[in-house]
Structure 1
Amino acid sequence: MFTIDAHLDLSMNAMEWNRDLRLPVSDIRKRELGLTDKPDRAKGTVSLPELRKGNIGLVVATQIARYVAPDNNLPGWHSSQQAWAQTQAQLAWYKTMEELGEMTMIRNLEELERHIALWTNDTTETQKPVGYILSLEGADSLVSVSYLETAYRYGLRAVGPSHYGPGRYANGTDATGGLNAQGKALLKEMDRLGMILDATHLCDDAFKDAMDIFTGPVWASHNNCRTLVPHNRQFSDEQLKLLIDRGAVIGGALDAWMMVPNWVRGVSTPESMQCDLHKMIDHLDHICQLAGNSLHVGIGSDLDGAFGKEQSPHDLETIADLNKLPSLLKARGYSDEDVANVMHGNWLRFLRRAWG
C-alpha cells in the first residue's frame, strides 16, 4: 500500500552520519562495520531504495541543528549562525538528491497531487523520486524570526519550534517553561506564511501556549501516548484530545523507548522488552479510541533518528517493513478504509486542507 512517513531525518543521516542514502541499507551497514562513533553504526534501517521497496513515496524530511548554551550538555552548535549553516548544508544535500532524480520537493497542492498520481497511477517509471515535504525540527537555527521567510522561499513548510531541552524559541522534551517573546513572534510569522506547526517535542508549558497562539494547521509528526509510556516526550490524553479537536494528525513513532515503558538505554533490547510493531498499533489504537474514529493517526516513524535496529521494533529489518502494518491493523479489527487512513489517507487529507 502507498505509504506516507511524516518524520525522517534523512539529511542528518547523510551529513552527520555520513551515509550515502542512495545505497541499499545492507551496503550502508557494511561500510560502517567496526565504527563506534555512533551507537547505531551498522544498524541503520533507512535508505532511498528501501523507501521505494516499501512503496513509501512521500515523507516529511527534516532539517535539524540545535543551539546549545555553555551550560547545556546536549550535542549541538555553539551559535545560531553555525546551526543555520548546518541546515543549509542539509538543504544542499536534498537539492543534490533532486538533481539526481532521487527525490523531489513538495511545496504546494499542485505538486502534491502530481506526485501522488505518479506513485499511485503511473506504473511505467521504475525508479520514482521520493517526494519530501521539508520540515525544521527545532527552530534554534533560525538566527532571527526574519529568517523564517527566507526558509519558506526555499521550500520549508513545517516547523517544530523545539527539540530536546531548552531552545531559543521554545523549550522541549525534558524542559519546562512557556514560549518566550521570540517563540510567540515565530508562531505569528508561521501563521502569516501559512506554515504547519509541528507540536512534537513541545514541553507541556510551551504546548499550551502554542495551542492558544497559533491559528493555523497543527500536526504531531512523531508522537506516542503518555498513558502507555509515561514520560513528557509523549502526549497526555488531554493534549491528544486538544490536537484531535484541532484536526491534527499524530504520527506513530518507532523509537523503542517511546513504544514500551521502562526502557533502559544501552541495556534494554527490542527482544527483551517484546517491542514489536504491535506496540506501535497500541499507541495508534489509543488515539483512535480517544477520537472515536481512525481519522487522526498516521505514521511518523522517526527511524534512524539517532538510533537503529538496536532501538527499533524487533520485527522490522528496514523501513520497507512498514508494509507489514496493514495486515496487523486488519487483524486488530480495522477496516480497509481505516488502514488506508493510517498508511496515507489522513496525512493527504490534512495537507489538502492545509494547502487548499
Structure 2
Amino acid sequence: MSRTTRALTAAAALLIATPALSQTIDPAVQKRIDRILKQTPLIDGHNDVPEQVRENWKFSVEGLASGSDKRQPNPMMTDMERLHQGRVGGQFWSVYIDASVHGDEAIRQTLEQIDIVTRLVEAYPNDLELASTADDFVRIHRKGKIASVMGVEGGHQIGGSMAALRQYYRLGVRYMTLTHFATNEWADSATDDPKYGGLSPFGVEVVKEMNRIGMLVDLAHVSPDTMKDAIAASKAPVIFSHSNARALEDHPRNVPDEVLALLPSNGGVVMVNFYTGYLSEPFRQWNANRAAEEARFKSLFTGQPDKRNAAMDAWDKANPPPKAEIGIIADHIEHIVKVAGHDHVGLGGDLDGIPYDQSPPGMNSVAGYPLIFAELIRRGWNDKDLAKLAGGNILRVLRQAEAVSASMKDVPPSLATLPPAAAAAKSD
C-alpha cells in the first residue's frame, strides 16, 4: 500500500500551503479541489468539539474563532478559521455523553450537549448556521458558511424513551449512533460483550422510529451483528459516521467486508475516521503491547508511582509508535470503494475526539481535508467521485432518509418501551 505523498518538483517555490498544514499542495491541484468543493459541500460526519467544551472549558464556546485563540490544557483541532481553510461546508457535531450514563440523567446531559451546539452556532453567525435538511446543507454552503447539525453518539442517550428520541430530532439531531463503547439496553457494541446477538426487539423498534422521523441510523461503534440487524430493519440508508475498513486494520470499531458488501443494496455510507488507532494495524499492535507493559509495571511497582512512571517512560522511549502518513486514509477510502463502490464512502474525521498526536501528519486539524483530496487526485480519482466522497454521498443519504420519512407520514409514533428488566439493569 502506498504511504507516500506527491513529490515536490522543480516548481517547489510556486507551491502553496494552507497555514495550518505541514504539507504543500500544487496550486493547480488546489484550484481543482477548490472547484469541486465549491460545487459540492465537504460534509464531515463527526466532530467532538462539544465534548471538549463540556469537559475542558466549563461549557464555554468562546475562543474558537482561530488557532491563535489558545486553549489549555489541550490543543484544539477545530476553530472557525481552520474550518474555512479546510473547505468544510457541513459538519455533524457530536453531542456525546459517557456510555455509563443512563435513564433520565442521560437525557439531561444530552440536552446540555445540544445546548452547547446551538450556542456555538449562535456565537459564530458568520461561520456557522443550523441546518435541518439536505437542501439546507446546499443553501448554507452557497452562502460560504458551515451547515451544522447534530449527532447523538449512543443509544443510551435516549434513556429508553422514544419521546426523547423524537425531541432530539426536533432540536436538530440528524443521526444517532446506536451504541458507544458499551453495549446498552437494546444493542450490542463493537467494544463490549454481546447481550442480544445484535439488536433486541426494542432496538429494532428504535430503528423503525428513526426511519419514521427521518433520523439517520449510525452504525459506528456497533458490533457486526448489530450492523446487520440494523441494515435489515432500516428502510433508509444507514451511515457509519466515523469508521474505517476492518480488512486493513482489524479493530472492532471498523467495518468488515461482509457488511461493506451490504451497502450497495441499502444505500449507506462509511465516513472514514482519521485516528491512527483505527487506520494502522502496526499502531494497533503497538498500542496493545504498550497497554500490556503498563499493566505489568503497575503489578511490579504497586505503591511505587515514581518507579512505575520511570519504567513506562523508558519503554516509550525505546518503542516509539509506528508512523502513519496521509496515504493510509486514502487506502481505507479505496478499500471501501473496492468492496462497496464510490457511492458509499465519505469523511468523518472524529477530530477533537481523538489524541492530538495520533493522526497522519496534517490531519489533526480541520484544515487538513484538502490533503486527502490531493492524495486521491495523485492516485487518479476523477472529479465526480471526489465530489461524492466530499458530500455528494451523504447528501443523497439525507435525501433518501427524508423521502422514507415522508412515505411513513401516516405511521403513528412508536409507543414501544424497554422491557422492565432491561431498564432496571441499567438504572442500578
TM-score (norm 2): 0.71
Distance across 2 between alignment mates of 1:10 and 1:315: 18
| RMSD of aligned alpha carbons | 2.3
Aligned position for 2:117: 94
Aligned position for 1:53: 85
For residue 312 of structure 1, report the CA deviation from its aligned partner.
1.2
| 2:402 aligned with 1:355 | yes
Letter in structure 2 aligned against 1:98 = V
- SS where residue 239 of structure 1 aligns? helix
For residue 200 of structure 1, report the CA deviation from its aligned partner.
1.1
Match of 1:288 among 334, 337, 342: 337
- 1:308-319 residue pairs with structure 2 within 5 A? 308=356, 310-319=357-366
Pick closer, same or farther for the CA change 1:20–1:295 going to 2, 3 Å.
Answer: same
Greater share of residues in helix: 2
| 2:169 aligned with 1:152 | yes
Identity %: 28
Distance across 1 between alignment mates of 2:63 and 2:343: 32
Distance across 2 between alignment mates of 1:355 and 1:95: 22
Aligned position for 2:217: 197
- 1:126-275 residue pairs with structure 2 within 5 A? 128=145, 130-143=146-159, 144-175=161-192, 176=194, 177-263=197-283, 264-265=286-287, 272-275=321-324
Pick closer, same or farther for the CA change 1:353–1:27 going to 2, 3 Å.
Answer: same
- SS where residue 84 of structure 1 aligns? helix
Distance across 2 between alignment mates of 1:139 and 1:11: 18
| 2:75 aligned with 1:27 | no
| 2:393 aligned with 1:343 | no
The answer (yes or no) to whether the contact 1:298–1:344 under 8 Å persists in 2 is yes
Letter in structure 2 aligned against 1:336 = D
Point out where structure 1 has 5 or more consecutive residues left out of the alignment: 36-40, 69-76, 120-127
Distance across 2 between alignment mates of 1:287 and 1:348: 18
The answer (yes or no) to whether the contact 2:63–2:69 under 8 Å persists in 1 is no
Distance across 2 between alignment mates of 1:160 and 1:154: 17
Distance across 2 between alignment mates of 1:172 and 1:301: 20
More divergent stretch after superposition (336-345 vs 192-201): 336-345
Aligned position for 1:71: none
Distance across 1 between alignment mates of 2:381 and 2:99: 43
The answer (yes or no) to whether the contact 1:6–1:300 under 8 Å persists in 2 is yes
- Count of equivalent residues: 326
Letter in structure 1 aligned against 2:375 = L
Larger radius of gyration: 2
TM-score (norm 1): 0.84
Distance across 1 between alignment mates of 2:392 and 2:63: 27
For residue 113 of structure 1, report the CA deviation from its aligned partner.
3.1
Distance across 1 between alignment mates of 2:201 and 2:63: 39
The answer (yes or no) to whether the contact 2:224–2:256 under 8 Å persists in 1 is no
Pick closer, same or farther for the CA change 1:21–1:207 going to 2, 3 Å.
Answer: farther
- 1:61-80 residue pairs with structure 2 within 5 A? 61-68=93-100, 77=101, 79-80=102-103
For residue 158 of structure 1, report the CA deviation from its aligned partner.
1.1
Pick closer, same or farther for the CA change 1:230–1:21 going to 2, 3 Å.
Answer: farther
- Where relative contact order (Cα < 8 A, 6+ residues apart) is larger, the structure is 2
Letter in structure 2 aligned against 1:294 = H
For residue 284 of structure 1, report the CA deviation from its aligned partner.
0.4
Distance across 2 between alignment mates of 1:216 and 1:297: 16
For residue 354 of structure 1, report the CA deviation from its aligned partner.
2.9
For residue 22 of structure 1, report the CA deviation from its aligned partner.
1.8
Pick closer, same or farther for the CA change 1:198–1:216 going to 2, 3 Å.
Answer: same
Letter in structure 2 aligned against 1:172 = S
For residue 157 of structure 1, report the CA deviation from its aligned partner.
1.6
Point out where structure 2 has 5 or more consecutive residues left out of the alignment: 1-33, 291-315, 404-428
